[in-house]
């Protein structure tokens, strides 16, 4: 006798299948794997992740965000494209496979919303300025009023289906909602999350999200219990209050205890992470028992995790990849399986799209009007309006919940899904065209060491990725010769990768209070080291420390914006390859991308410091009896002039010896270099006059015929110096560098810097690769022949 079990699909149709058809014995024993649950589920995962992954790879160069590619993948797998094939739908997404698939995609959205709460920082809403507050409120109120008014007018004056007429106010409400996480993900995909407009959008969207979720939750609760007795609504509200009390007064103290009992510098115990995952499931189960939506509790639990604690980073590290790469594609495919474009009728499409257009116009207007009032440019205000009108996964969740409660039907649901994809897919390339954050880094004055007046303050912007960068940077600052006539103002920025939250943070340690104590602790030893250096040079060195917590992809925005604001003459950034204490070379490729972006967008000169990690380079220059030996390699050009100018400043230090080696080539006849040659000659004459009589300064000329001769001379110098300063870019037509192009492993170092930085020598000489300011309103120092 064959046992049968009932399987219910989403459409509440009952199917029968054989009992315990889970694992297949294989095709060689006569089984069809697609008759069993496990092989079907494996294929569903493979197709979901494969389609969305391929589309993301293909659409990213076109400026599309990840949401559009994932949603298109879901639509392709659904009845609109592949799902129209009965073979595909019957084999890959059969009714008997619905239970496992729906359950797993549900876990995907459950843990995703837990991560949404985890990444949110409600303190941003509390600390947001008046501009962000007004933009956030208006971007919610204006579209809501506009769309509901339009919906009621359409319902009164336009003949339509009765069910659609009932749904119009709900459609208007859902189309007007905004989500903080949608905006954060959108900005992250566009690499704008810590740009000026990105920070404003994050703060504003937090305000708008709180309003949106409150209205949406109230609307769905009312609709769900509209036919129930008042007692049912009262019990639901009581159960919500009980859940909040349980999370705030039981679960949150447990998590705070976990943080307190984790020694500083150590990771959270695996057992503690497991307990938190159990808490997530308990909150979801509690919601199911009490008639709430089970996704509400996990998101509130994420919000309850202490902001800035290592718990957030650890949980994100454990969950983020699995949820976003494996489980979320299942969710998008599940959305696509319910979306059928062939169900849509033209009349319904026009009415729903009209509301969507008014919602879009309301969001853009509600954002632009206060932005223009606060003197934002029209382009920036329009870009901000487009960002605030983006839609994403949270909107899909609201649509799906409305469909489950039969507030909208399948046709309306499909129209709203398509509208979301079309809107967000159009906005992405528009913003990339309208808004370029690097435009604001164009300086209107020369920010270089060469053009800095004598006996004026030198402003140096120092980037630190980790503690090992500090000793050599302090040595470099000391060699820069701070004096009472020419003081040095140092802005130190500790760069930390953004983990455990969606909002980038910039902390000024001169103004840090209790709320920022966790961020102070991350940078404490770095700040203390620079503080000691400031105390030893009291009156001639000023230190201002910051911590920037942001994604590597957009970290250069923090660097360039602060350097521009503080009017720095040079930015010092560490090389992405560094020797550790045991002599091993450690490489961090995300840091390399940050450095490249800084070279491209910096509003002043840039120096990339390659620390060889030896005692000679790391010994403290202050009070040392031996000379700190510095060499400047001069081939000619703007970057070499900047390197020489920095070397001239160091030459005044009583404990620094400077050697300048100028390389000349026989029979140089390139006319296009006449301007550079003239400027080189002027600076050389100034150098000779400036250092006349200084016994610690040596100048010599080396005549070579090609790059091979240049390399031979430089290689003999590596063991003689503690620091070598070289220019980054040189004339590609010069015989001195023509033969070096094939050896260029790290283009950001230039040819000479790459030759020195990528060599495996144990000489211990540190290298500073200098690029003179290139971005300016007047276009000075820009030369298309330089690379």
Looking at per-residue pLDDT, the higher value among 720 and 388 belongs to: 388
Instruction: Check residue 614 and give its pLDDT.
Output: 45
- Taking phi over 0 as left and psi of -120 to 50 as alpha, with beta for the rest, 176 belongs to alpha
Q: Is the pLDDT of residue 120 over 50?
A: yes
Domain with CATH 1.20.1530.20 in the chain: 45-435
Can you name the CATH fold of 458-771?
Rossmann fold (3.40.50)
Q: Is the pLDDT of residue 387 over 90?
A: yes
Instruction: Check residue 203 and give its pLDDT.
Output: 87
Q: Is the dihedral of CA 557, 558, 564, 570 positive or negative?
A: negative
Per the structure block, which two tokens stand in for 292? 């709430």
**pLDDT tens, position by position, 771-782:** 998 865 454 444
Looking at per-residue pLDDT, the higher value among 19 and 134 belongs to: 134
Q: Is the pLDDT of residue 20 over 70?
A: no
Per-chain mean pLDDT for the chain: 82
CB distance 149 to 358 below 8 Å: no
Q: Is the pLDDT of residue 672 over 60?
A: no
Q: Is the pLDDT of residue 579 over 70?
A: no
484 band by pLDDT with thresholds 50, 70 and 90: confident
Looking at per-residue pLDDT, the higher value among 668 and 525 belongs to: 525
Instruction: Check residue 637 and give its pLDDT.
Output: 85
Instruction: Check residue 357 and give its pLDDT.
Output: 94
Q: Residue 599: which of 775, 778, 777, 785 has the closest Cα?
A: 775
Q: Is the pLDDT of residue 308 over 70?
A: no
Cα separation values, 149 from 137, 350, 355, Å:
18, 17, 10
Instruction: Check residue 617 and give its pLDDT.
Output: 41
Looking at per-residue pLDDT, the higher value among 441 and 284 belongs to: 284
Q: What is the Rg, in whole angstroms, of the alpha carbon atoms belonging to the chain? A: 31
CA distance 34 to 44: 11
H helix or E strand, kind and range, residue 541: strand 541-550
CB distance 51 to 36 below 8 Å: no
Q: How many helices (H) and strands (E) does the chain have?
A: 29, 15
Per the structure block, which two tokens stand in for 575? 């090389």
Can you name the CATH fold of 45-435?
Na+/H+ antiporter like fold (1.20.1530)
CA distance 104 to 241: 29
CA angle 577, 509, 550 (to 5 degrees): 45
* Exposed e or buried b per residue across 59-98, where buried means at least 16 C-beta atoms within 10 angstroms of its C-beta: beeebbbbbbbbbbbbbbbbbbebbeeeeebebbbbbbbb
CA distance 438 to 57: 25
Domain with CATH 3.40.50.12370 in the chain: 458-771
* Exposed e or buried b per residue across 230-260, where buried means at least 16 C-beta atoms within 10 angstroms of its C-beta: eeeeeebeebbeebeebbeeebbeebeebbe
Q: Is the pLDDT of residue 509 over 60?
A: yes
Q: Is the pLDDT of residue 512 over 70?
A: no
- Taking phi over 0 as left and psi of -120 to 50 as alpha, with beta for the rest, 508 belongs to beta
**pTM score of the predicted model:** 0.79
H helix or E strand, kind and range, residue 461: strand 458-464
Instruction: Check residue 520 and give its pLDDT.
Output: 56
Looking at per-residue pLDDT, the higher value among 7 and 19 belongs to: 19
- φ, ψ of residue 766 in degrees (nearest 5): -85, 155
- Percent of the chain having pLDDT more than 90? 21
619 band by pLDDT with thresholds 50, 70 and 90: very low
**pLDDT tens, position by position, 529-554:** 898 999 888 889 999 998 888 888 88
H helix or E strand, kind and range, residue 726: strand 723-727
60 band by pLDDT with thresholds 50, 70 and 90: confident
The predicted model gives 720-728 an average pLDDT of 89
Instruction: Check residue 506 and give its pLDDT.
Output: 82
Q: Is the pLDDT of residue 578 over 80?
A: no
The predicted model gives 378-385 an average pLDDT of 92
Instruction: Check residue 632 and give its pLDDT.
Output: 92
CB distance 118 to 302 below 8 Å: yes
Residue that has been written with the tokens 């140089």 in this structure: 668
**pLDDT tens, position by position, 156-194:** 888 888 888 888 988 999 899 888 888 888 888 888 887
Q: Residue 397: which of 221, 241, 193, 217 has the closest Cα?
A: 217
């Amino acid at each position: 006798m064959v046992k049968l079990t009932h399987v219910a699909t989403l459409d509440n149709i009952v199917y029968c299948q054989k009992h315990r058809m889970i694992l297949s014995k294989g095709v060689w024993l006569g089984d069809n794997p697609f008759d069993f649950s496990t092989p079907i589920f494996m294929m569903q995962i493979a197709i979901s992740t494969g389609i969305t992954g391929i589309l993301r790879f293909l659409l990213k160069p076109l400026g599309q965000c990840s949401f559009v590619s994932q949603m298109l993948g879901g639509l392709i797998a659904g009845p609109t494209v592949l799902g129209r094939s009965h073979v595909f739908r019957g084999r890959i997404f059969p009714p008997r496979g619905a239970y496992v698939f729906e359950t797993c995609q549900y876990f995907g959205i459950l843990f995703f919303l837990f991560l949404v709460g985890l990444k949110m920082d409600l303190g941003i809403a509390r600390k947001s300025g008046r501009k962000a507050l007004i933009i956030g409120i208006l971007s919610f109120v204006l579209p809501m009023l506009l769309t509901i008014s339009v919906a009621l007018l359409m319902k009164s004056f336009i003949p339509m289906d009765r069910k659609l007429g009932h749904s119009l106010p709900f459609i208007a409400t859902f189309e007007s909602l905004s989500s903080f996480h949608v905006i954060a993900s959108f900005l992250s995909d566009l690499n704008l999350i810590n740009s000026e407009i990105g920070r404003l959008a994050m703060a504003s969207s937090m305000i708008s999200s709180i309003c949106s979720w409150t209205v949406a939750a109230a609307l769905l609760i009312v609709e769900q219990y509209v036919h129930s007795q008042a007692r049912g609504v009262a019990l639901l509200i009581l159960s919500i209050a009980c859940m909040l009390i349980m999370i705030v007064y039981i679960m949150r103290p447990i998590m705070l205890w976990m943080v307190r009992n984790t020694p500083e510098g150590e990771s959270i115990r695996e057992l503690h992470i497991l307990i938190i995952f159990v808490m997530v499931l308990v909150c979801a189960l509690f919601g199911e028992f009490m008639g709430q939506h089970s996704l509400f509790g996990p998101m509130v639990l994420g919000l309850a995790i202490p902001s800035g604690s290592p718990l957030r980073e650890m949980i994100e590290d454990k969950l983020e990849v699995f949820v976003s790469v494996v489980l979320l594609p299942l969710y998008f495919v599940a959305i696509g399986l319910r979306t059928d474009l062939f169900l849509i009728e033209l009349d319904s499409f026009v009415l729903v799209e009209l509301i969507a257009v008014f919602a879009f116009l309301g969001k853009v207007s509600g954002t632009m009007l206060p932005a223009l009032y606060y003197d934002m440019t029209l382009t920036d205000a329009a870009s901000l309006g487009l960002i605030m009108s983006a839609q994403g996964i949270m909107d899909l969740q609201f649509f799906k919940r409305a469909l489950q409660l039969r507030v909208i039907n399948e046709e309306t649901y499909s129209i709203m899904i398509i509208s979301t994809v079309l809107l967000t897919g159009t906005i992405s390339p528009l913003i990339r065209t309208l808004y370029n954050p690097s435009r604001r880094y164009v300086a209107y004055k020369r920010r270089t060491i060469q053009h800095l007046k004598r006996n004026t303050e030198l402003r140096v912007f120092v980037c630190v990725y980790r503690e090992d960068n500090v000793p050599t940077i302090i040595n470099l600052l000391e060699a820069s010769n701070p004096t009472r006539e020419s003081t040095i103002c140092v802005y130190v920025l500790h760069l930390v990768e953004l983990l455990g939250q969606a909002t980038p943070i910039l902390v000024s340690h001169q103004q840090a209070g209790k709320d920022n104590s966790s961020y102070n602790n991350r940078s404490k030893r770095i700040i203390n080291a620079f503080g000691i250096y400031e105390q030893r040079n009291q009156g001639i060195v000023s230190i201002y420390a910051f911590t920037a917590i942001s994604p590597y992809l957009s970290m250069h925005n923090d660097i360039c914006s602060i350097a521009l604001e503080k009017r720095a003459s040079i930015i010092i950034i560490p090389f992405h390859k560094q020797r550790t204490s045991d002599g091993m070379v450690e490489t961090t490729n995300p840091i390399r991308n940050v450095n490249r972006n800084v070279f491209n967008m910096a509003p002043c000169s840039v120096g990339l410091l390659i620390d060889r990690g030896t005692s000679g380079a790391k010994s403290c220059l202050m009070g040392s009896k031996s000379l700190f030996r510095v060499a400047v390699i001069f081939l000619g050009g703007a970057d070499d002039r900047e390197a020489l100018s920095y070397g001239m400043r160091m030459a005044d230090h009583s404990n620094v010896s400077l050697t300048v080696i100028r390389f000349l080539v026989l029979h140089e006849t390139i006319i296009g270099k006449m301007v550079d040659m003239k400027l080189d000659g002027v600076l050389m004459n100034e150098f000779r006059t400036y250092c006349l009589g200084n016994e610690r300064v040596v100048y010599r000329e080396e005549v070579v015929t090609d790059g091979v001769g240049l390399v031979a001379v430089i290689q003999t110098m590596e063991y003689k110096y503690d620091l070598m300063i070289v220019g980054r870019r040189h004339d590609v037509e010069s015989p001195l560098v023509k033969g070096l192009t094939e050896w260029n492993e790290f283009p950001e170092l230039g040819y000479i810097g790459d030759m020195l930085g990528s060599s495996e020598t144990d000489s211990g000489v540190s290298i500073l690769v200098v690029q003179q300011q290139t971005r300016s309103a007047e276009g000075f120092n820009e030369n298309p022949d330089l690379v």
